[in-house]
């Protein structure tokens, strides 16, 4: 009887929840990109994202006005101190009890320790510094798990991912869990794993953050996008990173 009840419960859960992608079936956006984009990403002298990494390296060592301190003054050589950091974000900032993504963390550091004004969201400088930090984790597996004290944020992100939104009344999950690999007009629908952010997107002709990408999709379903740094946006980032747990970081990735 107990077994039967359990089986029924499992069956009910499976029917209610949209089909999640099995770990073995998970694929990075890289696998959906065309051969030209892949060649571009793989060649460090042809990957335009590397230009931002170079710029970020300069910023890393630039003293900010205010506390007259650079990132390097506290953190030293980014190749060792920042290795693996991007694979752990978004993370909880214990002092404020807020979830911060990498961009948010960098800006908080700027305010707290460098006495400088935060970079504007999506500005070239913020993207470059984020790309430089995330580049130090290239090749490492994503280590975000939405458990423990992150659980409420993960649950919020999951709820947002599965919630129908906008005039088209579509959830993220309907495209990226249920219909990945098929086409939306001319473009292949990927699985929405944030493996290479900040990403150089050919459509944008520039580097862009995961939040920009999320806003892009939200306007696509004609929903009101979250503001940059909004708790919902960061929770969604957390959910996506946890969903891609164990996948390899590729920053700076090139996507169509």
Partner 1 sequence: MARVLINLPARAGRGEIIEIKTLIAHPMETGYRLGPTGAAIPRDIINRFLCTYNGEEVFRTDLFPAIAANPFIAFFTVAAESGEIVFSWTDDHGETQTEVRQITVE
Helical ranges in 123-245 per DSSP H: 124-135, 151-162, 172-176, 210-220, 231-243
Binding mask 42-61 for partner 1 (x = CB under 8 A): -xxxx-x-xx--xx------
The dihedral formed by the CA atoms of 164, 225, 168 and 30, expressed in degrees to the nearest 10: -80
Could you say whether residue 125 binds partner 1 (CB under 8 A)?
no
Compare residues 102 and 207 and give the one whose CB is closer to partner 1: 207
* Cβ-based neighbour number of residue 70 at 10 Å: 15
Spatial contact of 183 and 189, defined as CB atoms under 8 Å apart: yes
Determine whether 217 is an active site residue: yes
Binding mask 191-230 for partner 1 (x = CB under 8 A): -----------x--xx------------------------
User: Shortest distance, CB of residue 45 to partner 1, whole angstroms?
Assistant: 4
Compare residues 20 and 204 and give the one whose CB is closer to partner 1: 204
Closest among 192, 240, 205 to 49, alpha carbons compared: 205
The residues facing 254 across adjacent strands are 200
Kindly indicate which of the ranges 15-23, 40-48, 110-118, 161-169 contains the residues binding partner 1, using the contact rule CB under 8 A. Answer: 40-48
Compare residues 218 and 254 and give the one whose CB is closer to partner 1: 254
How far apart (Å, rounded) are the C-alpha atoms in residues 224 and 39?
35
Where along the sequence are the contacts to partner 1 (CB under 8 A)?
A: 43-46, 48, 50-51, 54-55, 202, 205-206
Residues with catalytic annotation? 217
């Amino acid at each position: 009887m107990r077994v039967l009840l359990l089986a029924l419960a499992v069956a009910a859960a499976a029917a209610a929840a949209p089909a999640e992608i099995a770990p073995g079936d998970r694929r990075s956006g890289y696998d959906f990109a065309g051969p030209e984009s892949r060649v571009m990403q793989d060649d460090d002298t042809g990957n335009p994202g590397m230009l931002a990494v170079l710029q970020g390296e300069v910023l890393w060592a630039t003293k900010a006005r205010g506390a007259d301190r650079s990132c390097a003054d506290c953190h030293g050589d980014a190749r060792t101190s920042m290795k693996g950091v991007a694979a752990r974000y978004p993370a909880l900032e214990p002092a404020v009890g807020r979830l911060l993504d990498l961009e948010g963390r960098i800006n908080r550091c700027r305010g707290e320790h460098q006495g400088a004004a935060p970079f504007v969201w999506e500005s070239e400088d913020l993207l470059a510094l984020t790309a430089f930090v995330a580049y130090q984790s290239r090749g490492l597996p994503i280590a975000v798990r939405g458990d423990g004290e992150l659980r409420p944020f993960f649950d919020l992100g999951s709820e947002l991912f599965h919630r129908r939104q906008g005039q088209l009344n579509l959830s993220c999950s309907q495209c990226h869990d249920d219909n990945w690999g098929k086409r939306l007009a001319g473009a292949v629908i990927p699985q929405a794993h944030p493996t290479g952010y900040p990403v150089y997107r050919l459509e944008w002709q520039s580097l862009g953050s995961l939040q920009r990408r999320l806003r892009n999709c939200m306007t696509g379903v004609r929903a009101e996008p979250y503001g940059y740094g909004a708790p919902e946006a960061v929770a969604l980032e957390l959910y996506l990173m946890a969903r891609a747990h164990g996948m390899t970081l590729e920053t700076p990735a090139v996507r169509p």
